[in-house]
Amino acid sequence: MKISVALLMLLLAAAWTGSQGMSFRSSRANCCSKEKFSHRKIPEFRIQSYQYTSPSCTHRAVLVKLLKGVVCVDPENKWFQEYLRKHKKPNSTPT
């Protein structure tokens, strides 16, 4: 009986820490370091999608998904702001 209770507690602890660790890894992976930023204008046809980084990240950025990988972009870049204006859908709200 003691072994089954101990095993249950161990499994619950592993499940809890695993889910907590997963959330930390995923948010950390979605942040950008200064070295990862692209300072060049990206042609619109290469952009598949984009996602803003979490407010908890050190650097404010946008993750831009391309055909071959992901780059970080400063959301204040003039070319990115123009891209947003061109591709903004009516009645859409920023996330």
Q: Is the pLDDT of residue 15 over 80?
A: no
Nearest to 51 by CA among 91, 89, 23, 80: 80
Task: Report the C-alpha gap between 55 and 60 in whole angstroms.
Answer: 7
pLDDT tens digit string along 24-50? Answer: 344 446 899 888 899 899 999 999 999
Residue 8 pLDDT class (50, 70, 90 cuts): low
> What pTM did the predictor assign?
0.59
- Ordered by where they begin, the domains of the chain are 32-87 (2.40.50.40)
